[in-house]
């Protein structure tokens, strides 16, 4: 006679074999997941040129001029550098580098209306007002 407990465990085991599941892959710090495997990341200022294989590690290349990566990552493309457009009242305070984005501030005739970290997101032109305006009474006196 078959033990009911064993039969129950066997049934659960068989059902588990029939239900497809995908275990979540958790890569370590300094790695990124690609095609079900963990690959080493590229350092800041670089991007992935070729992902790792069983025989090789990740191949990284430097970011092209006008692009950057600020942190180690598995990005295949570097991020586009911000442009501080003078037409919108911006001026560049720090040029883009392979490891950091451009930082903008406002030209002297503008003020920053939206600051994010050390970077201005919106410049607004200063308003110019006349020095004094007088109101004349109905009888013509000031």
Is 23-80 a CATH 3.10.20.70 domain? no
Q: Is the pLDDT of residue 23 over 60?
A: no
Asked if 80 and 67 count as a contact pair (C-beta separation under 8 A), the reply is yes
Q: Model confidence over 86-129: pLDDT tens digits?
A: 999 999 999 999 999 999 999 999 999 998 888 899 999 988 76
**How far, in Å, CA of 73 to CA of 41, rounded?**
5
In whole angstroms, give the CA distance from residue 10 to residue 2.
11
pLDDT of residue 8: 54
Domains 23-80 and 81-125 share a fold: yes
Please give the sequence-ordered ranges of beta strands (E in DSSP) within 1-142, or none if there are none.
31-34, 37-40, 46-50, 59-62, 67-68, 79-80, 90-94, 103-106, 110-116, 119-125
Closest CA to 112 of 86, 89, 87: 89
Please give the model's pTM, rounded to 2 decimal places.
0.67
The pLDDT score that the predictor gives to residue 16 is: 46
Q: Which fold has domain 81-125?
A: Tumor Necrosis Factor Receptor, subunit A; domain 2 (2.10.50)
Q: Where in the chain are the domains?
A: 23-80, 81-125
């Amino acid at each position: 006679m078959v033990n009911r407990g064993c039969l129950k465990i066997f049934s659960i085991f068989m059902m588990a074999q029939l239900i497809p599941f995908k275990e979540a892959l958790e890569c370590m710090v300094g790695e990124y997941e690609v095609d079900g495997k963990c690959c080493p990341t590229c350092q800041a200022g670089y991007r992935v040129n070729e992902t790792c294989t069983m025989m090789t590690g990740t191949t990284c290349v430097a970011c092209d001029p006008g692009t950057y990566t600020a942190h180690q990552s598995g990005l295949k493309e570097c991020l586009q550098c911000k442009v501080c457009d003078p037409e919108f009242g911006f001026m560049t305070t720090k040029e883009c580098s392979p490891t950091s984005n451009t930082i903008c501030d406002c030209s002297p005739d503008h003020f920053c209306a939206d600051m994010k970290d050390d970077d201005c997101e919106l410049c607004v032109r200063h308003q110019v007002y006349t020095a004094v305006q007088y109101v004349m009474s109905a009888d013509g006196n000031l």
